[in-house]
Amino acid sequence: MNGTEIVGTLFREFPLAVYGSMLVGVSCAFLGVYIVAKRVVFLGAVLTQVSVLGLALTFLPVFAVPHTIGALAVTLVTVVIISRMLTGKKTPRDSVLGVVFITSVTARILIMQKTPKVEAAEIENLLRGDILFVTPELFQLMTGAFVIAMAVHLLFYKEFTFITFDPETAATQGYKARAWEMVFYLIAGMVISFATHMVGDLFVFGFLVVPPVTAMLLTRNVKLIFAVSVLIGLLAPALGLFLAFVFDVPASPAIVGVASLVLGSAWLWSLAGRAER
Amino acid sequence: MILFDRVTLGYGRKVILRDVSFSMQSGEYFGLVGPNGAGKTTILRAILGTLKPQAGTVTMRGPEGRPLRFGYVPQRDSIDSVIPYAARDVVMMGRYRDIGLLRLPGNADQLAVMHSLRQVGVEDLAGSVFRDLSGGQKQRVLIARALASNPDVLVLDEPTNGMDLASRVAMLDLIDTLHSRDHLTVIMVSHLLDDVANHARLIALVESGFFQVGPVGEVLTGENLSALYRTPVQVNQVGARTVVTVGVRNERH
């Protein structure tokens, strides 16, 4: 098969995989700019694991609810609990995130031990990411989450900017810094929950970090940072899927690999620019 | 303008300061002085309304009975920006309250930002990336942001911390100018006694279990400072300047 035929096959046979991965890529790349700016990159890794724990819980008879509902509920409850701790000063942020991360992973492993073998394998599939088998329902949920996230962030751009840059001064101007932080983390939790269910934790965490960092290496204009990050979130999944098909490798690692190659190139470019100056 | 009536301040169950009372009028230059950890920032947070008193009342009244507007200048080291905001973007944040929800900055806001940058003498840095600026330049941009919010009171937390002598003098001169030329009420927190002694008119000495407020000449005495810092402190006049020296010097004959 040549390149055109592969692209044709991808769009014909796996349209939701193509559009879904681009949708997740754009959503995570956009939110990731704030996550990198807030220095809570590990939050992405933590919430993906919390979301997977929520999925795993739904395999237990006592929590027999739809996977998406389970993942979303557990993620949002966790967000509410940890957002106060993240904005407080009593416990360091990385310690809070570390505790939640290890608790989630541990709980998931224990739950998997108590589920039938077939279901444990299904949970593992969710972890690795099953991009090629995105369901229409999940795609619609992710689209809804994307629209909500973009709408809230565009409508309240000023508030999120101020709270992210200098929450102390924002509070003196009457902004409820903790409430805005909570809104941000709830939206991030919702997107991460659906996205993890859809494409797996590797893809989601990768796109919360790699495109924003790449954009920050390439430009010092704030609007361009968002634009470049989103552009990488849009194009890298499409190219990654194409390469996964060509080289017969798993989709998620191929997609994150493409984004990482772009990051590496951006880093070399910024080094060269610095050397010239 | 600002009235503290037997105010107790703290966090959770922990009391930092008890029974603090003082009042401050419009046009004042008020200095809050004390050792690190004494509770200066706690009082500042109560003035700014971000910390509610555990007991007592804090009353604020702006011109014509409207709420007081504060322009807050935080310690510049507390801002650690990963995103490369331009200085003008940072100053624009001071306009956000007046712009309101769901509205974009307009021409009037852009003009106000440039006016504020001009007031503090860094108009030429409008397009520079904030995080790349020197300490003194960052401080001026943060003051410009506070001015852009049209404050009745300019509140500065350790504005000269970590600055070299020339930058420190220039910064204090700028604050003096904003106070005298633009008739701004100023509240300045500092652990540097000389800064407050030679610029503020009203001073509060703050330490756990010790709170004294009054005109600089009355409060800033060797006796008070020695009690506050638990070490011998002398206050001397050298020309028109007040000089604070710490410790007992052995005289040579």
Q: What is the pLDDT of residue B194?
A: 86
Mutate to test the interface with B, among A158, A159, A221 (most CBs of B within 10 A): A158
Q: What is the mean pLDDT of residues B80-98?
A: 95
Q: Is residue B178 part of a domain?
A: no
Q: Is residue B133 part of a domain?
A: yes
Q: Nearest to residue B46, comparing CAs of B5, B9, B73?
A: B9
CA distance B38 to B213: 15
Q: What is the mean pLDDT of residues B41-68?
A: 92
pTM: 0.91
Q: Is residue B140 part of a domain?
A: yes
- Output the DSSP codes for A35-50: HHHTT-HHHHHHHHHH
Residue contact B48–A39, C-beta within 8 A = no
Chain A interface includes B14 (CB < 8 A): no
Segments forming the whole domain that contains residue B135 = 78-151
Q: Is residue B224 part of a domain?
A: no
For residue B212, the number of C-alpha atoms closer than 13 Å in the C-beta half-sphere is: 15
Task: Enumerate domains of chain A plus CATH numbers.
Answer: 3-268 (1.10.3470.10)
Per the CB < 8 A criterion, the answer to whether B44 and B187 are in contact is: yes
B198 Cβ neighbours under 8 A, 6+ residues apart? B172, B241, B242
How many CB atoms neighbour CB B234 within 10 A? 15
CA distance B190 to B192: 5
Q: How close are the terminal C-alpha atoms of chain B, in Å?
A: 53
What percentage of chain B exceeds 70 in pLDDT? 98
* Chain A: closest CA distance from residue B244 (Å): 32
Amino acid at B92: M
Token duo for residue A4: 């055109």
CA distance A234 to A190: 20
CA distance A15 to B104: 38
How confident is the model over A5-14, as pLDDT tens digits? 999 999 999 9
CA distance A235 to A18: 10
Q: What is the pLDDT of residue B213?
A: 93
Instruction: Give pLDDT tens digits along chain A (277 positions).
Output: 788 999 999 999 999 999 999 999 999 999 999 999 998 899 999 999 999 899 889 888 888 899 889 999 999 999 998 887 776 667 788 898 999 999 999 998 898 888 776 666 766 776 665 788 888 999 999 999 999 999 999 999 999 999 999 999 999 999 998 899 999 999 999 999 999 989 999 999 999 999 999 999 999 999 999 999 999 999 999 999 999 999 999 999 999 999 999 999 999 999 988 777 6
For residue A112, the number of C-alpha atoms closer than 13 Å in the C-beta half-sphere is: 18
Q: What is the pLDDT of residue A76?
A: 96
- Output the DSSP codes for B165-177: HHHHHHHHHHHHH
Residue contact A172–B79, C-beta within 8 A = no
Contact residues, chain A, for B96 at CB < 8 Å: 158-159, 162, 173
Q: What is the pLDDT of residue B19?
A: 92
Q: What is the pLDDT of residue A248?
A: 93
How confident is the model over B160-186, as pLDDT tens digits? 988 888 999 999 999 999 999 989 999
Per the CB < 8 A criterion, the answer to whether B19 and B212 are in contact is: no
For residues B52 and A127, the model is more confident at B52
Residue contact A173–B97, C-beta within 8 A = yes
Determine how β-strand B233-238 pairs with β-strand B241-246.
antiparallel
Q: What is the pLDDT of residue A127?
A: 61
Q: Is residue B18 part of a domain?
A: no
Q: Is residue B214 part of a domain?
A: no
List the beta bridge partners of residue B30: B187, B202
Q: What is the pLDDT of residue B249?
A: 56
**Total domains in the fold of chain B:** 1
Q: What is the pLDDT of residue A118?
A: 62
Q: Is residue B108 part of a domain?
A: yes
How many CB atoms neighbour CB A52 within 10 A? 26
Residue of B nearest to A39 (CA): B82
Local structure of residue B197 (DSSP, 8 states): H
CA distance A274 to A222: 20
Q: Is residue B54 part of a domain?
A: no
